[in-house]
Amino acid sequence: MLTKTQSISARLAPDDYAYLMSIDRNGAVTQSEKIRELIAMARESVGVESFARSYIAAGETILPIRARYAGENQRSLLVEALMEMVAEGAAAIQACAGAEPMAPALEEKALPIAESFLERIFLITRQEQPHLARPEIAGQLKNKVGELSQPPEEFTNRGTEQ
């Protein structure tokens, strides 16, 4: 298979040229090889393999929503827990997208995210006056946590009785 290449020309400042020529990766010797390695390094640095990079990217996506929420001056532990779970969940999905197999890697990343969300929900149900925009939601959450705490047979049979 023939590989087409594109010829490029660039004018570099002396320090940029020195940096380019200092790249010592995968045996790159020529200017062309060093540029290819520089491109590979750039691709790696902006890739989604890193959970930290993915988290930052996901956080930036949700930033306008967080700013709007903060501007409303009405705190809600549920909303904060949800926003954190969405940002961390999106980062986990991005970070594990290339994993083979994906499910075990994603479960490993998802477990602490789910645990943190559940802990916050549980905290809301235990507080006398939880920070919620609509305090009646605490009662609904308490009821749901109570239902889910039932023995498995009661939970699985619920809704199947006519």
Do 69 and 106 share a domain, yes or no? Answer: yes
Q: What average pLDDT does the segment 105-112 reach?
A: 94
Of 51 and 71, the one with more pLDDT: 71
**Residue 9 forms part of a structural domain:** no
Do 64 and 42 share a domain, yes or no? Answer: no
145 neighbors 132 (Cβ within 8 angstroms):
no
Q: What average pLDDT does the segment 82-88 reach?
A: 92
Of 39 and 134, the one with more pLDDT: 134
Look up the domain containing 81 and give its range. 51-156
**Residue 119 forms part of a structural domain:** yes
What was the pLDDT predicted at 44?
A: 65
What was the pLDDT predicted at 20?
A: 86
Return d(Cα 121, Cα 81) in angstroms, integer. 8
What was the pLDDT predicted at 162?
A: 47
Does the structure show a pLDDT above 90 at 160?
Answer: no
The Cα angle at residue 95 between residues 43 and 81, in degrees rounded to 5: 135
Return d(Cα 40, Cα 24) in angstroms, integer. 13
For every residue of 40-98, DSSP letters joined together read HHHHHHHSS--HHHHHHHHHHHHHHHHHHHHHTT---HHHHHHHHHHHHHHHHHHHHTT
Q: What average pLDDT does the segment 31-38 reach?
A: 86
What was the pLDDT predicted at 159?
A: 58
**Residue 127 forms part of a structural domain:** yes
**Residue 79 forms part of a structural domain:** yes
